Structure 1
């Protein structure tokens, strides 16, 4: 795949014709006037150099861009490119970004990307995260984030897809990378489910109390069985509460009658005690008392004693008859009360007997609620028990397969020693042009840690400190993937001018010499935007002739800040395009 031309339906747009082979330079120039000579703060920014990259990505199926839809609504952009010997013309409208016209045939955005993927990249079977968009971004870094590290191309791309895409373009087996990630995901999923159960409100108390799961399961099953048996024989009495109230009323009546009976019994007891009591002093005792005192009772006194004794005997007799009558009355009342108590007792027993065979609706509901609670807790505990068992088994399986995959990867890397040497050789070849014979290359090792990373891939240049070296590593790494032609048919690299920002002029000159020679010798494309001052600084190292041959003759578009017409869009539009 190589780029031929980027154009638009708007006449103001500055069409970019790319050289089919060799370098294609998009140069940002500062318009020199008396004002700009005085105002040194003017820069080369905002003329459209980086926008050209965003527009190429747009034509190659990047995510819908809201900025384009809102501010370039009636614009459409066309990218002409080749794959093999076949030419393609892709047009995408800013107001209808979910479809693309390819050689005048309409495709949905997804179908368009799938088609390009099948034509450009060699994927025997689909792999999640290994897609056209992620792969093509390795040859045209989408935005400024892609220039922070040689290894990182897409903003917010996770470690696993990052490794997967980079390994694939270095010729490594992506299925080894995929399998290790799957194994880690499987064990993480089980662990996540286990933690989810442990954090469940129902289960928290179980873990806090440190109970034995088998004992708790057994107890729950017993309680469930008991409750189910009770519910089977449970009959709901609609008048349950009324019967309870009646039984309670009977109980209170019985208690009242029993209290009355107890008072009557005490009264009868007191009468019995009274009937047994006799006068303390008899007539005989009085006479004896006077005899002992040798006193003769007068006739009158004797007569009075006879009267007193007669009165006392009569009084005692009357009291006994009265007490006896009272006792009889109390005994009858006690008998009647006892009958009432027996009658009330039978009624109470009937009520309680009825209640013993039936229950209240709320009791029935409470029992069912408790049963459901027990069953839910049992279900959670059994789930947890099964999950723990599965987790232990998976851990064993994971450990075994993980070990098998490590051995498999070690053997694979040993068998692929030629591929590893090839990547080292390519990277070192480019690095040597900048740093001489310093130790450099791409190290590829098996990562045997319990993570998703199948390979550790590191590009190294001795003394690789400083921003300048970082950008050189980006250049060398990207050229290694391009020239290696592993699993792809991409024939171009497109770099933003920020790649050159921290590299000294001598190394920038070397960079262009390498690109010029490699593209000519191997029929490749190298597209790069650059500011005029950066290019002019290389002239002393390239010399007039080489500068003309490499830089001037390969400049395909000049953009200046002279006016809006001299910028890429040709009109004034503020765009936040630096995102997909």
Structure 2
């Protein structure tokens, strides 16, 4: 892939036409003496943002300020030419060679044409890979392996490894193992969480097996009771009848008890005799030497006769009452006997059958206890699974470490190729510094499969970071691992801390590689850098490598001289 032209539907826009091969320079010229004005607002970075916009980047709210603007990018893949068109209003849609697509569809088309991505490779897409060739924004120039703002470390590793020709499956495998390990840790925390235990009814894990056995025994009992249960359709009516008989029996037994008490009292009354007789009274007076008159003795005889008569009448009455009570008691006893037999019959029937409500309660009790047992068995399985997961994960980590170690031995030539290529570029800048790209097997329990480091001796020094970015990007481009791109695009940020000699070397390397490999190198430069290069280059070199390569000049002189040709503030990054 190489870029041809970026344009817009507005006459004010400065069309950017790229050299088909070799170096293309977008120059930012500072023409005013106003110190507040800088190179940073003329449109260098905006050019990159608009190229990404035309290559299916996410919608950008800031571009909505450009209400009716439409941007077009012409580019080439192999010998096939393409034109993508995208409106700032309807950003969810993009046109490719006259056909309209969603962003997802568009990106998939370019992904298949430009990158050799295996199926089910997470985090590696056209949109994750293209910034490796068109670095974008401040975040794109922090380090050689960082291109996208807030990119997931795993995604960074996968995309870099992919472009270095490494096996991404090994990276994904370890990431999966790490995710499993984290899930195992979560499971362990859950198993020890009191609230979680309460849900399963397992406050004390030591009693778990005992509880399970107890519940299993209870459940078997309920099942047996249900199996033997006979539902009586007339159960409730029989129950009511039995209750009525029991009630009547209770009343009759109370009455019988009262009658028995009354009869007992009559018997006691019949045994009572007069306390003293006439003869006893006479004898009493005789003993006292006191003589009673005939009249008095006569009166006593009459009184004794009267008293005897009263006692006889009372006795006859009590005997009659006793007979009446005994008759009543006999009748009640007969009734009690009959009702008692009826009660026994009905209770026996009720004991051998049951009501539907009772049957339902039995089933509900069975269901409740089965749920408790299910929870306990679930908890037991979780505990068992946890122990199994821990051991399996340890084993898998070890196995993957061994597999990766063997893999690194197998791709030794590939690793050396990347080292040699990176060293080749670095040595153009620092002939005395050791450099290379190390690829090590990370055996730790983490999501990092490979430790990939681009190294330049004393890389904390001035501008070494920018040199490392330049050399690493050219290593990716020239290595041609899994991609079909033929260009690099760098912002002026890459020259920010470089001295003039380093910038000159950068141009010499880019020019040489473009000639040898038919590559396209695009860079935006500030006027100060362009002018400073005159001191390090001959007039012919400066003309050939720089001034003749300038395809667009942007200036701070007026809004018309800027990329859009209008004054508007866009925070597009």
* TM-score of Structure 1 vs Structure 2, range by shorter chain: 0.7 to 0.9
> Does structure 1 retain, via aligned residues, the 8 Å contact 2:463–2:497?
yes
Q: 1:168 to 1:336 in 2, by over 3 A?
A: same
Quick check: 1:326 aligned with 2:288?
no
Deviation at 1:169, TM superposition (A): 1.0
Mapped partners of 2:212, 2:531: distance in 1: 81
2:193 corresponds to 1:173: no
Is contact 1:427–1:442 with CA below 8 Å preserved after alignment?
yes
Q: Within 5 Å, which residues of 2 pair with 1:190-201?
A: none
Q: Which residue pairs with 2:81 in the alignment?
A: 87
Matches within 5 A, 1:256-295: 256-295=251-290
Answer with 344-353 or 269-278: which moved more: 344-353
Q: 1:45 is paired with a residue of what secondary structure?
A: helix
Match of 2:149 in 1: 155
Asked whether the 8 Å contact 2:201–2:375 carries over to 1, the reply is no
Q: CA RMSD in A?
A: 3.8
The separation in 1 between residues aligned to 2:561 and 2:4, in whole angstroms, is: 22
Rounded to whole Å, the distance in 1 between the matches of 2:69 and 2:145 is 34
| Paired position in structure 1 for 2:22 | 22
Check conservation: 2:201, 2:376, Cα contact below 8 A. no
Distance in 2 of aligned mates of 1:470 and 1:29: 26
Q: 1:58 is matched with which residue?
A: 53
Q: What is the distance in 2 between the residues matched to 1:241 and 1:538?
A: 109
Q: Is the 8 A contact 2:201 2:372 kept in 1?
A: no
Among 116, 121, 125, the residue aligned to 1:127 = 121
Distance of 2:521 and 2:23 partners within structure 1? 5
Q: Is the 8 A contact 1:198 1:207 kept in 2?
A: no
Change (3 A) 1:354 1:566: farther
Distance (whole Å) between structure 2 residues aligned to residue 386 and residue 466 of structure 1: 58
Contact 2:28–2:555 under 8 Å retained in 1: yes
| TM-score under structure 1 length normalisation | 0.84
How far did residue 445 of structure 1 move?
A: 0.8
How far apart are 1:411 and its partner, in Å? 1.9
- Per the alignment, do residues 352 and 6 of structure 1 end up closer, same or farther by CA in structure 2, a change over 3 Å counting? farther
Asked if the contact 1:202/1:377 (under 8 Å) is kept, the reply is no
Equivalence for 1:459: 454
Three-state SS of the structure 2 residue aligned to 1:129 is coil
Distance 1:306 1:399 in 2: 125
Residues 181-580 of structure 1 mapped to structure 2, 5 A cutoff: 181-185=175-179, 204-210=199-205, 212-232=207-227, 234=229, 247-248=242-243, 250-345=245-340, 348-349=343-344, 352-353=347-348, 355-356=350-351, 359=354, 363-386=358-381, 388-389=383-384, 392-434=387-429, 437-465=432-460, 468-503=463-498, 507-508=502-503, 510-536=505-531, 540=535, 546-572=541-567, 574-578=569-573
Tell me the distance in 2 between the aligned counterparts of 1:509 and 1:242.
109
- Unaligned 5+ segments in structure 1 are none
Once residues 542 and 566 of structure 1 are traced to their aligned partners in structure 2, the CA distance between those partners, rounded to angstroms, is 28
Mark the runs of 5 or more structure 2 residues left unpaired by the alignment: none
CA gap of 1:316–1:170, structure 2 versus 1, over 3 A, is same
Number of residues paired by the alignment? 572
In structure 2, distance between residues paired with 1:565 and 1:361: 92
SS at match of 1:137: helix
SS of equivalent to 1:208: coil
Q: CA deviation at 1:446?
A: 0.5
1:495 deviation in Å? 2.3
Inter-partner Cα distance in structure 1 for 2:569 and 2:370: 64
The question of 1:11 aligning with 2:8 is answered no
Q: Distance in 1 between matches of 2:121 and 2:40?
A: 39
**Residues 399-449 of structure 1: CA deviation (Å, up to 9, x unaligned):** 444323222211221233333233333334444555563443322110122
Alignment counterpart, residue 138 of structure 2, candidates 120, 141, 144: 144
Instruction: Give the Cα separation in 2 of the matches to 1:306 and 1:521.
Output: 169
In structure 2, relative to structure 1, the CA distance for the partners of 1:254 and 1:130 (3 Å cut) is: same
Separation in structure 1 between the aligned mates of residue 191 and residue 347 of structure 2, nearest angstrom: 46
CA contact 2:200–2:375 (8 Å) conserved in 1? no
Q: Is the 8 A contact 2:2 2:485 kept in 1?
A: yes
